[in-house]
Chains A and B, each alone.
Chain A
């Protein structure tokens, strides 16, 4: 059994492309070409050159001594926070902008919640001199002002999504509507392993550089490629997909996915999709999503805008359903406390999304000689105001 997508974009029962006909030519063009383009030597060369010289890869795999000491196990941190723009998101946007160029597109659209993916998209568009429009929920524009300013400084146009709940899911709807209206010249850079086939697989492949590096880095440090566990936070699931990718079909490596419980899984204000979701269709993908009995998509809640999504990528739905992945949900309070602890134990201020992954130690016990890799998906600069308000610093 493989945990990768099959040729129709299914992970077990999840995935596929449930799209209106208006999107069919766009998705079909991508589907027919993405693997071929990605495997061209010239593409690989340019992609890896940019990851090295522009993004700053390989990112370090750092042995967190004090954290390990505290939890009595061996913890390594994969430092995606050190990527240019401050999070793993740029691995995907570099890949997709090169893809867009190969497909002859001259206009880019993207959705963003916290603004990290928007910034990563605006960055690569500036790099390539391509027009960029980023959709962002009106509410997120208010609460993520620094990232809005960054996108504007990078030359992108930020358009407010004013429909529905005016957050990430609605920004995604607006981006999809833009694509329907501009089917020929525009490429849509989706920011996570969500959306219709081939997006989940394509984004996972671009992010897979994370686990590709973990393998040789761990070999150097521990004399073995495989950790006992890989841990990552899951919003849509892209940093997690990248960290798991080369371990998916290696059963001896445990996979731990950390979701945002918000104010508590049963509080009515949560984004713990695996716990609260049912099988359905969101943004063109069959997956687990939070919805009413009637099939209306409901509003998630998390203190971290990047985990505030009512669905999860189809790969993760399958990891959950099949039992291959272990899913843990972490509340706002637990994440914030873990973020502060991480800052003071290791001198690294994590993004609040990432902080969720550091809060698992109350729920999961490890052996002393277990090797755990936690994907440190992003840095916390963008979240300083939230941390300050929360801790009254």
Chain B
């Protein structure tokens, strides 16, 4: 079974961590993954850096620019990851923007993911209809789970369509914002979390954007299956390098 699906069946709230590949240093990718697994994280999103990350706030923008400056690129990331399954068993998801994937060739990209043992892909700017028409068959062929986003503005009708097209989990963007923008959830978010919970979707939801500490992690996972931390972890890496990853994870749960 796909590792993401197996993980989602565990009876616990999941902590997923996002980081940008090639940051802080070009060769940090594999050690960061290994450290995160050792620290007890449940899932990892490996960010493929892009020159124009539209949906990201300043922290991830800066890490992406730095990673590209360090020399990160798609083929190199695949090279770095090629033996990753010899050392870790944690679910791995690639997250990025669609243009680099398109240039690599969608099928070639998916094949490499499959060979490496990547379990899923998040491409926020690959829209639902294009995915269904053109790429779903390729994702399926390589046993890759495609993760879609929903936001507080997404209509119920569209949430249902996304739920139908999903086969793993739904990435629930916490508020109308780019990554990293908020610290703390207000009444509006609580209402949104409850509204989504009541829809009884077939796919569990994992909340992302604006989760930075134990408080926001708990608030986000009160209803949802898990939560994703990105910008706050990247800030930690900026300040501490890759030496104290476990300390950071311990502050979350």
Residues of A participating in the B interface, judged by any CB pair closer than 8 Å: 16-22, 24-25, 163-164, 169-170, 173, 176-177, 180-184, 278-284, 291, 293-298
Contact = CB atoms under 8 A, between A and B. Distances in A.
A176 to B, nearest CB: 5
A17 B98 CA distance: 12
B104 A295 contact: yes
A164 B153 CA distance: 29
Given A18-B125, A183-B151, 11 more contacts: A20-B149, A22-B124, A177-B178, A181-B176, A181-B178, A183-B176, A281-B97, A282-B99, A283-B54, A294-B75, A295-B103
Nearest to B158: A24
Contacts of B29: none
B32 interface: no
Contacts of A18: 98, 125-127, 130
A24 to B, nearest CB: 7
B19 interface: no
Interface residues of B, number: 39
B100 interface: yes
B72 to A, nearest CB: 9
A237 B100 CA distance: 25
Given A280-B99, A281-B98, A180 B176 contact: yes
A16 B129 CA distance: 10
A17 B125 CA distance: 9
Given A22-B176, A295-B74, A280 B52 contact: no
B34 to A, nearest CB: 26
13 contacts: A19-B125, A20-B55, A21-B149, A22-B177, A24-B151, A163-B61, A164-B65, A177-B54, A177-B178, A180-B178, A181-B177, A294-B103, A297-B99
A25 B74 CA distance: 31
Interface of B: 50-52, 54-55, 57-58, 61, 65, 68, 73-75, 97-104, 124-127, 130, 148-151, 153-155, 158, 173, 176-178, 181
A58 to B, nearest CB: 38
A281 B125 contact: yes
* 8 nearest A-B residue pairs (beta carbon): A295-B103, A295-B100, A20-B124, A21-B149, A296-B51, A25-B153, A294-B73, A20-B55
Contacts of B155: 25
Contacts of A19: 125, 127
A282 B98 contact: no
A173 B54 contact: yes
Given A181-B177, A294-B100, A24 B154 contact: yes
A167 B160 CA distance: 40
Contact of A291 (B75, B99, B126): B99
B201 to A, nearest CB: 15
A184 B103 CA distance: 34
A180 B103 contact: no
Contact of A22 (B61, B102, B149): B149
Contacts of A184: 153, 176
